[in-house]
Structure 1
């Protein structure tokens, strides 16, 4: 079964302000986007589980014209605060890379 790392063109994370993090997953082809979407694997529950946040706090947006999914979640540690290990939020996409997609 392919993993996100095998089929996504881009999987990245970044700050969405000091209190939130945005994760983007983008695909080259519309067909691949639709196949992934139709599996239901990428969903608020997955992001909640991977990042230890409440599902109700996950803002999840599939964006078909861009062949992309966007999830915005609250940061567990405010950017730049004591204990923050990634002030830019640029390395937080890693848990998604090994997610298997049954396509």
Structure 2
């Protein structure tokens, strides 16, 4: 039997998605499965602007993180590396940006 890897944000979530937030921004949302999963994912020592900057190659000063405990949701926004639909844009709808976030290993649960 194959050994399971580390627990990731995807494992703690009902859904992890990304979407276009206009021609210059990307927004990602973590819909956590319960309050305990939210506590882990929303911990600023784990998920902060520097972590997002490292995952996406963006300036940490441009990253915005919104923690919404009543909904067990963490929302993350940052400027798109290139404007939407420009010649170098490889994901017009930002539909694939969530993958590195979903695969992020969480501290021991």
Q: Secondary structure at the match of 2:27?
A: strand
Report the aligned-residue RMSD. 1.3
Aligned partner of 1:31 in structure 2 is 36
Instruction: Look up the match of 1:5.
Output: 10
Q: Secondary structure at the match of 1:38?
A: coil
Larger Rg: 2
Query: 5+ residue gaps in structure 1?
Result: none
Report the TM-score when normalising by structure 1: 0.91
Instruction: Note the C-alpha offset of 1:39.
Output: 6.7
Give the whole-Å Cα distance in 1 for the aligned partners of 2:57 and 2:80. 10
Given the alignment, which residue of 43, 46, 59 partners 1:41?
A: 46
Does the CA contact (< 8 Å) of 2:40 and 2:106 recur in 1? no
Q: TM-score, normalised by structure 2?
A: 0.87
Gaps of 5+ in 2: 1-5
